[in-house]
Amino acid sequence: MAINISSLQIALAQMPANTGGFDFSILTQAGSPSGTMSGMSPKVAIEQAAKNETKQRKQIAEAPMTKKDIARYTKVVKNAKTIDDVLNDPIARKVFLKANGLGQYQDAVGLAKRALASDPTDASSVAQKLSSIEGGWLDVVLKYNFELFGIGKLQTTDALKEITDNYVGELRLDMLDQQMPGLGTAILFKQIASKLDTPIKVLGSGIGREVVTTALGLPQQLAVQSLQAQEKALVQRIDVKKFKSEEFVDRIAQRYLIMLNGGTGGVTA
């Protein structure tokens, strides 16, 4: 069955993050470096998150639920014959997609199978068509190219370690989002912002689109407009070349958190 990309556009752009049911309460006891940030300013919250990253990652990596998920993923991948074998297992699918920044799509099994089976050189492939909405699909396809190489690249020791590290990192960002709505997203935006040096790259990044459009006060309905219309709306409000400046990126990340947590009014940057 063919996928109607236009009908998916707003759904994918607005799809909420999914923590996969991870119980972060075990990591937020009093005195823990991962405690809540209620009442803290966005600036201080971002600074505290950076300061506590190593301790937070260690806590999450050592949590029984994390170890159980990784063990299941490793077993499934080692025995898999195709990427569909990985996607058919709920835990393995969750770990793989989340580790690649696509965790919010873990319940979209059909979409994942079609996108990851794409030929990255084919402009009409699902991953290519989705790249203006969520570039993460194309990134994964370019990296592993399941259509050409099968499951082999995913089964290497290096790939298993990378997925494990990335999964822990993504769980940490989920934890930060629970401490302050949007905090994990803001932290990830700061990490990737320098690569979003064109409006198309901003719009093609789920994180970039979320942070920038929210910070600028642009309506969610923007997602259903043509790519040209979205690009025009963006360039009228922000100069993405400024994302090379760490100070400017900090301002946008803080503005995003302010807007997401009750702030009002847009901004031109």
**Domains defined along the chain, listed by start:** 40-177 (1.10.3700.10), 182-260 (no CATH)
Q: Tell me how far apart the alpha carbons of residues 85 and 67 are, in angstroms, rounded to a whole number.
A: 21
SS (H, E, C) 71-132: HHHHHHHHHCCCHHHHHCCHHHHHHHHHHCCCHHHCCCHHHHHHHHCCCCCCCCCHHHHHCC
Q: Tell me how far apart the alpha carbons of residues 216 and 231 are, in angstroms, rounded to a whole number.
A: 13
130-146 pLDDT, tens digit per residue, is 887 888 999 999 999 99
Q: Yes or no: say if 194 and 208 are a contact pair by the CB < 8 Å rule.
A: no
Residue 131: per-residue pLDDT: 84
Q: Tell me how far apart the alpha carbons of residues 20 and 39 are, in angstroms, rounded to a whole number.
A: 27
Please give the DSSP secondary-structure letter assigned to residue 159: H
**Rounded to whole angstroms, what are the CA distances from 123 to 127, 138, 149, 254?**
9, 11, 19, 37
Q: Tell me how far apart the alpha carbons of residues 183 and 99 are, in angstroms, rounded to a whole number.
A: 18
Q: Tell me how far apart the alpha carbons of residues 126 and 19 are, in angstroms, rounded to a whole number.
A: 25
Residue 32: per-residue pLDDT: 43
Residue 267: per-residue pLDDT: 41
Low-confidence ranges of the chain (pLDDT < 50): 1-7, 9-10, 13, 17, 19, 22-36, 265-269
Residue 38: per-residue pLDDT: 56
Candidates 23, 101, 100; CA nearest to 66 is 23
Candidates 202, 195, 100; CA nearest to 146 is 100
44-78 pLDDT, tens digit per residue, is 999 999 999 999 999 999 999 999 999 999 999 99
Residue 52: per-residue pLDDT: 95
Q: Tell me how far apart the alpha carbons of residues 212 and 222 are, in angstroms, rounded to a whole number.
A: 12
**Model pTM above 0.85:** no
Q: Tell me how far apart the alpha carbons of residues 46 and 28 are, in angstroms, rounded to a whole number.
A: 17
Q: Tell me how far apart the alpha carbons of residues 207 and 178 are, in angstroms, rounded to a whole number.
A: 17
